[in-house]
Structure 1
């Protein structure tokens, strides 16, 4: 729901929308240069602010490719305190490379992962030794012309008014979805209302001819940093402190609550950098839970930002997630993804 205060900012929304529209038209007519490459450059992006599942989608694509393509992952490295082009190493911390690139590198250690705020410069570095590049959060980075675009929308964002910032949550106009090759509506509920589904489909098809897919988040077994899984029976006897620094923790809390004895939650902003005071708050809240069977559960992304000394001090577990394409469309989706990365074969 849009608050009254944000409606007061509507004149700025009109100004912002005009600037965004004009900028896009300058790129469309070629008055602002957009650089293309000879290798496949596949981007994942969204039009709205907030989490749409770009990291799970990146991981899903890497599982589809399964090392069949020499692909490098490129990210801006949001939240890092460094600048310029950097390779991501498993031994890095989130302040050096960002939480999401670090998460991807640790889950796919054989995949080259780099961060750089200048995507064009970075791809020029990567194309020397890689057959393809996969970029996250690059739909608005129009200085780079992708060979294939995957656009994500959060399911709930398409049910309400689509209004640009600062009144709404969209950083680009819905008509820009016409530049996408694939659209994925993410975070769909398990029981989708057919009326809502038709509303979303009709709304998108007014602006784009892209193939539309629907996906939701699948929660994987809870594990610790060493990969040891906690069983459902063990979990049911636990008092759990959930610690999150993500855009929308509600689905995670809804998943956990019926599976644990008692659930408490400490929420931080998305990509939050944990301070000493934050860590003390988490520690004190955990100590105050009066139970012999208790644990902390956090997201994979948040786990990357917690200091190693803190991870060793407390029983901190991870709740991993994966993307799942719905309605029997997964085979079609995977085939389109493979085709998007196949161009390199014809030039090698």
Structure 2
């Protein structure tokens, strides 16, 4: 497993050691109380990582939104990576990916009734959110595991299966942003982007190697895919748009997979069996598409023979939607594939209940009222179950 996914630059290990010392000193200052972490009476759930590159933060935040949105007043606070605006900003229907960042924009498009805010200083952002809406039941912090000025009620650490932190090294030799001991701050650790074919032996090996404390819970999640939808509905090829929907509808298509995400490996592997042929065109994470990139996309798509389409992620669609220069052929055949997550090992209910209990216990504004069917035995506990919601009653 290590040899398949981890590439370490051994020449840079001394620099990684020095960088690790600096990070450890910072963590020590927080542990000693010299640098202060602020707690809040409103429930705060942090989702983040300790590596450079994507671990699936946005799909996991969206999972939490779906779990809680119908029952609690939810807000999401992100730093809004690569946004052009400054300071605290609450997204509205006029916000663009340039204003708030591609990931907050994606979430606002999918959950228009949820408060989505951006602010680099998370403690300040939480205070401003609560000033504007004191009745918030829970605040979800996006990419804040290392932002230690806030002490969340639940700290969730995401670890990419394709780059397990137990085999990685510190920057710049590897991709670790802090030493492995940083995982000890997590209440929940989720190994993300697992292949659905993961064997029981691999589960046991990873569980043992993670070497967690008794207070920590380990979960495994895998990618799940929603319905293919045209990005440019007005320009979409009517015949292709009518046919597209599930991944199985790509079986006769030569597919150009356009991604600007940090870790597309699992997505590539998942889509390969469904298309006649798959041609990955990958860019760096949060990549801003320039005119040369657009020309390359047009050319790559034009070079495909036979029935063809182009598929991209919601995150990339947020950035590419307003670019100029895409050919009409690309626009008519460009589809967005939503990413969701599923818990493995029948862990869905356990995870859901952990989150529900925390919000129920700590929300100042609401109390939990169990739905009538919560007491009925469930017929299915497979990892594909949608997250169950909870019902709140205002005090």
Flag whether TM exceeds 0.5 (same fold): yes
CA distance change for structure 1 residues 183 and 160 in 2, over 3 Å: closer, same or farther?
A: closer
2:86 aligns to what? 83
**Residue number among 122, 139, 146 corresponding to 2:152 in the alignment:** 146
**Residue number among 119, 124, 132 corresponding to 2:122 in the alignment:** 119
**Aligned-residue offset at 1:115:** 0.8
Does residue 326 of the first structure (1) align with residue 332 of the second (2)? no
Secondary structure at 1:308's aligned position in 2? coil
**Aligned-residue offset at 1:16:** 0.9
2:266 aligns to what? 251
CA distance change for structure 1 residues 331 and 70 in 2, over 3 Å: closer, same or farther?
A: same
Does the 8 Å contact 1:174/1:207 carry over to 2? no
1:275 aligns to what? 290
Q: Distance in 1 between matches of 2:93 and 2:305?
A: 36
Q: Distance in 2 between matches of 1:214 and 1:234?
A: 28
Paired residues for 1:180-329 under 5 Å: 180-207=186-213, 209-225=215-231, 229-231=244-246, 234-291=249-306, 293-308=307-322, 313=328, 314=331, 315-329=333-347
2:386 aligns to what? none
Does residue 21 of the first structure (1) align with residue 21 of the second (2)? no
Q: Distance in 2 between matches of 1:222 and 1:104?
A: 17
Does the 8 Å contact 1:159/1:200 carry over to 2? no
Q: Distance in 2 between matches of 1:232 and 1:67?
A: 29
**Aligned-residue offset at 1:345:** 4.0
Q: Distance in 2 between matches of 1:206 and 1:163?
A: 19
After TM superposition, the structure 1 stretch with the greater mean CA deviation from structure 2, 171-180 or 131-140, is: 171-180
**Aligned-residue offset at 1:159:** 7.5
Q: Distance in 1 between matches of 2:303 and 2:161?
A: 37
**Aligned-residue offset at 1:309:** 6.0
Structure 1: runs of 5+ lacking an equivalent:
none
Secondary structure at 2:363's aligned position in 1? helix
Secondary structure at 1:9's aligned position in 2? helix
After TM superposition, the structure 1 stretch with the greater mean CA deviation from structure 2, 18-27 or 174-183, is: 174-183
Does the 8 Å contact 1:274/1:306 carry over to 2? yes
TM-score, structure 1 normalization: 0.92
Map Cα deviations across residues 260-309 of structure 1 (whole Å, 9 max, x no partner). 22322221101000011111211122223233x32210011100001336
2:384 aligns to what? none
CA distance change for structure 1 residues 127 and 159 in 2, over 3 Å: closer, same or farther?
A: closer
**Aligned-residue offset at 1:170:** 1.2
Q: Distance in 2 between matches of 1:83 and 1:35?
A: 23
CA distance change for structure 1 residues 159 and 94 in 2, over 3 Å: closer, same or farther?
A: closer
Does the 8 Å contact 2:55/2:192 carry over to 1? yes
**Aligned-residue offset at 1:66:** 2.9
Q: Distance in 1 between matches of 2:260 and 2:7?
A: 23
Q: Distance in 1 between matches of 2:268 and 2:113?
A: 32
Count of paired positions: 346
Secondary structure at 1:281's aligned position in 2? helix
2:376 aligns to what? none
